[in-house]
Amino acid sequence: MTFKVTVLGNGSAKPTIRRHHAAHALNVHEQFYLMDCGEGTQSRLIQCGINPLKLNAAFISHLHGDHVYGLFPLISSMGLMGRRTPFTVFAPAPLGEVMEYHYKYFDTNLPFAIDFREVDTRKHRCIYENSVMEVWTVPLRHRIPASGYLFREKKPGLNVRREAIERYGLGIAQITAAKRGEELIGPDGTRIPAEEITYTPYTPRSYAYCSDTMYSGKIADIVSGVNLLYHEATFADADRVLARETGHSTALQAAKTAAKAGAGRLLIGHFSSRYKDAAPLVEEARTLFPATEEAEELHTYEIPFIRYR
């Protein structure tokens, strides 16, 4: 069961030859989602072998251009490619209003519906849910309203151990009851607690996308225990005054968030164009949180499937 994220861009406001604007593509059980959509995102999707028509929804963190300018050409291209299924866009206001102008002057005959969902950047709440996953908002601290997103795989239903079925001669009705967590009564009247004969087939996985933000302990609390945390690290700690003035974090502050959250791994990105090499920022973060990596463009990071028995 797939749970992996592909980094399409990890640069900040000013594009460079080596870094593209912010965008991640998440694959959960072969369902695809887009986080932010900076300029050139559609080309990066194709370059990574991800068909834009497979995207179910886009989650936009905020309305700075380096996070949203790629959305409009992506929508146009999906129309040209023959998309007919609705496409959901989650974003802070007033993106819905901006998109209305786009439809009026550019995609006047778009062959599919856009379902725009306004995000309240002040609240932590579930905004999307399907059979395998929930998406929760993560309030960020930036110069304008901004939201991160926490993707959590749902806890799977219980399985009944095969040996228990054979030992107690369980029928279909009893197996179904055990999967609901109910206590069973054996043939001799013995009580059989569900936890003794059932197990969780796998450990639910999680990924958090925290783009432009200053350090916030509340973010760490919300994403506590996350398997993979992406956190912006626009500046080195030597430039922490500039980071605060511009509403951003340093690599060390990103590591502080990961450590406080008890994250499994940390990806850092959104690097300022002043840094030609991200290695010093990664090393800075590793002094506080060793499991830090650069969010390398065109690279896919998979969260392993851990089966329980």
Look at the block and give the residue holding tokens 């490619």.
Answer: 81
| Strand boundaries in the chain, DSSP class E | 3-9, 23-28, 31-35, 55-59, 87-91, 114-118, 126-129, 133-139, 147-153, 159-160, 184-185, 191-192, 198-199, 206-210, 228-232, 265-269, 292-294, 300-302
Out of 66, 107, 212, 237, which one is annotated catalytic?
Answer: 66
* Amino acid (one-letter) located at 284: E
Nearest Cα to Cα of residue 90 among 47, 120, 51: 120
Catalytic annotation present for 66: yes
φ, ψ for residue 182, nearest 5 deg: -85, 150
Look at the block and give the residue holding tokens 């000013």.
Answer: 14
* Amino acid (one-letter) located at 306: I
Catalytic sites, residue numbers: 66
